Amino acid sequence: MAEQIIRTGIIGFGLSGKVFHAPFLEHMKGFELSKIVERHGDSSKEVYPHVTILRDFRELIHDDDIDLVIICTPNALHYSMIKASLEAGKHVVVEKPFVPTSVEADELIQLSEDSACQIFVYQNRRWDGDFLTIQKLLDQQVLGDLLEYESHFDRYRPELPANAWRDEDKPGGGIVYDLGSHLIDQALVLFGIPDAVFADIKAQRKESPVDDYFSIQLSYLSHTAILKAGMMVMEPGPRFILHGRKGSYVKYGLDPQEAALKNGLIPGTADWGRENEDQWGILHYTREDGADRIKLETRAGSYQRFYENVYDVLVNDTDIIVTPQQARDVIRIIELSFESNAAREIRQIRKD
């Protein structure tokens, strides 16, 4: 039986569309990348000469030859574009963050159910190699009962870039929505919805119209998850720090997949997502015969698994890994973080 092909178009060809989506759609089996919406310019044609360039996203969502729409636009446009795509009968992949508000997320989830069209939110960092390694450590109870989990996504960009929509004071702007959505999603995957949230959110760069630093503390019954990111960190510390009753795990450096994609490497090729040994984390833990301190090999990352799941959901009716409800929960934690920061107090979370 011939393989079913998902006919796909991308809205937006900036960093996200060019680096994190088009390479997978072009090189993975089961997808056909045929159309890309660029409001200005023809840069996608230089990389993918076979695609048709469109100027208006409405042309794409009303195209009968398109099954799946990939939305890689500024966050403030996500809600309206997802809504229009679902109403046009298209399945949707949207870059994180899902939408700026949980109310919008709830509406779109209901529309998705009513239209029988799927929403996939691109939380690709669930497939970072270091995060996969941490999942395995926790699943195997190597550290014993976890006491503290700390996750960072730090950069040094002291000057505000010109024409950067992430730094504009619009819905979904700022570092909490941009990088915080990754760190919050990873924490919720590991630990579920917390009991309480406390946040410190700031604009540290001069004249920044949006937040560019955060420290968000998620409180659980048995442990704390501390999530931090900033744009004024010249000397980065660890990416992850975990402390448990039987040991600790400390990991420096970022997953290599983003750099590989920026360098034009093809996803899924030999040694894809594998770190060099000098980037492996340190595991210091107790065993029955004493303590051991080792460099623990990082598991290979695999962003391609996101699109493998998209294909399996649409063609084979399997379960979505990144559910819209989970993406909505991330947005709700972001909202509670801003509320906590404004009130300078802890926000408790009801779990009905």
Instruction: Identify the band that residue 166 occupies on the pLDDT scale cut at 50, 70 and 90.
Output: confident
Mean pLDDT calculated for residue range 108-116? 97
Mean pLDDT calculated for residue range 225-253? 97
Percent of the chain with pLDDT over 90: 91
Alpha-carbon span 330 to 93, nearest angstrom:
17
pLDDT at 240 (0 to 100):
98
CA nearest to 187, candidates 122, 135, 110: 135
Mean pLDDT calculated for residue range 120-124? 98
The sheet with strand 290-296 has its strands ordered as 290-296, 281-287, 247-251, 240-244, 146-152, 224-230, 213-219, 196-202, 347-348
Give residue-wise pLDDT tens across range 47-82: 999 999 999 999 999 999 999 999 999 999 999 999
The CATH number of the domain covering residues in 6-122: 3.40.50.720
Domain spanning 127-301+333-348: which superfamily? Dihydrodipicolinate Reductase; domain 2 (3.30.360.10)
Mean pLDDT calculated for residue range 239-246? 98
Mean pLDDT calculated for residue range 319-329? 98
Model confidence at 1: pLDDT above 60: no
Query: 3-state SS of the chain: helix, strand, coil percent to 5?
Result: 35, 25, 40
Instruction: Identify the band that residue 281 occupies on the pLDDT scale cut at 50, 70 and 90.
Output: very high
Q: What are the residue boundaries of the structural domains of the chain, listed by start?
A: 6-122, 127-301+333-348
Give residue-wise pLDDT tens across range 170-214: 999 999 999 999 999 999 999 999 999 999 999 999 989 999 999
pLDDT at 169 (0 to 100):
87
Model confidence at 15: pLDDT above 70: yes
pTM of the model: 0.96
